[in-house]
Amino acid sequence: MMTLDDVPTIVAIEKESFTSPWTEEAFVNELTNNHFARYMVMDYEGDVIGYGGMWTIMDEAHVTNVAVREQYRGLGLGTKLMVELQRTAVMFGAKRMTLEVRVSNMVAQHLYKKLGFEPSGVRPGYYSDNMEDALIMWAELDSSGVELADDDE
């Protein structure tokens, strides 16, 4: 699980990954004040190289962030993070999971579709940096954990 000590590294990964990165204050607030928040880190040889976060509310999970350090991308680590988020969401009682993704981010959309997410709508002008629309995607979560796509990493 992510700790406050991880926040500076997480902020660095945010800046590598997103045009509108979350701030250190945002992550500190998530970890200290948001009892719906669940954040995890991916560790490699003692270094945090990725992370994922979500809110679990009732029987739904909402993915907030998923990112992997630039030099570790393309190795299936984003898939591993998403699968772990799905498994954790099921542990917390979630039956469905949702997320938003830029309509132009076809790489992420492909990953999410592989993990059972389906488009369900659009949030116009969702991203404040360029007013790009967000595609809303939903997935049903399998409580057995069997169907959570470990097949083609």
User: What positions carry a catalytic annotation?
Assistant: 100, 112
Report in angstroms the alpha-carbon separations of 146 from 64, 83, 116: 24, 11, 12
3-state class (DSSP) for residue 142: coil
Cα 101 from chain centre:
10
Cβ proximity of 109 and 135 under 8 Å? yes
C-alpha–C-alpha distance, residues 43 and 2, integer Å? 10
d(CA 143, CA 148): 9
Two tokens, residue 88? 């954790």
